[in-house]
C-alpha cells in the first residue's frame, strides 16, 4: 500500500479563483503534489489538502 505525505494550504477569501488555481498548479507542477481534499468555508476562504506519494528506496544488498 502506498504511503503519502500531506500538506495543508490555506487560501484566504481575498484570493481570486484564478490566483488560487495558479498557486495549486505551481504546487502540482514543481512539487509533484496532487489534490486530496478542498473545503470551501462560509467566509469564502479555502483550505486545501495536497498529497504526494512517498517513494522509499530499498537498500541494495550485493
pLDDT digits (tens, 9 = 90+) for 10-44: 999 999 999 999 999 999 999 999 999 999 999 99
* Cα–Cα nearest to 20, from 36, 44, 42, 4: 44
pLDDT at 40: 94
Higher pLDDT, 59 or 23: 23
* pLDDT tier, 56 (very low <50, low <70, confident <90, very high otherwise): confident
Q: What's the whole-model pTM score?
A: 0.80
Question: How confident is the model over 42-59, as a mean pLDDT?
Answer: 91
Residue 15 and residue 43 in contact, taking contact as beta carbons nearer than 8 Å:
no
Residue 3 and residue 51 in contact, taking contact as beta carbons nearer than 8 Å:
no
At 55, list the grid cell: 517513494
Amino acid at each position: 500500500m502506498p504511503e503519502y505525505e500531506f500538506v495543508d494550504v490555506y487560501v484566504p477569501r481575498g484570493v481570486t479563483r484564478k490566483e488560487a488555481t495558479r498557486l495549486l498548479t505551481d504546487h502540482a507542477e514543481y512539487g509533484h503534489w496532487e489534490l486530496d481534499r478542498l473545503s470551501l468555508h462560509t467566509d469564502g476562504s479555502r483550505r486545501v489538502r495536497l498529497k504526494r506519494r512517498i517513494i522509499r528506496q530499498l537498500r541494495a544488498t550485493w
